[in-house]
Chains A and B, each alone.
Chain A
Amino acid sequence: MAPLDIAFWIMAVIGVGSALAVVMEKDIFRAALLLIVSFLVVAGLFILLNAEFLAVVQVLVYVGAISVLIIFAIMLTRNVQEGNPFNSFQLPALVLSAMVLSAIAFVVLNTDWHVWDQLGLHVLPGGSDEIFSNTEQGIKNVFGDTTQVIARLLMKDFVLPMEAASVVLLAAVIGALALVREREDEV
Chain B
Amino acid sequence: MNLENFLLLSAVIFSIGLYGALSKKNVVAVLMSIELMFNAVNIALVAFSRYVVPRNIAADPIGVEAEVAKAFADGVALSETVLSSLLTGQIFAIFVITIAAAEVALGLGIVIAMYRNRETVDVTQANLMRG
Contacts and interface: CB of A to CB of B under 8 A. Distances in A.
Interface in A55-91: 57-58, 61-62, 65-66, 69-70, 72-74, 76-77, 79, 82, 84-90
Contact of B105 (A4, A146, A173): A173
Contact of A176 (B25, B68, B88, B106): B106
Given A54-B93, A89-B23, A16 B16 contact: yes
Given A8-B1, A23-B20, A76-B112, A86 B25 contact: yes
Given A22-B33, A23-B20, A87-B23, A180 B13 contact: no
B106 A73 contact: no
Contact of A180 (B2, B101, B112): B112
Contacts of A62: 35, 39, 97, 100
A138 B83 contact: yes
Contacts of B68: 134-135, 137-138
Interface magnitude class on chain A: 35 or more
Contacts of A8: 1, 5
Interface magnitude class on chain B: 35 or more
A108 B95 contact: no
A143 B86 contact: yes
Nearest to A7: B1
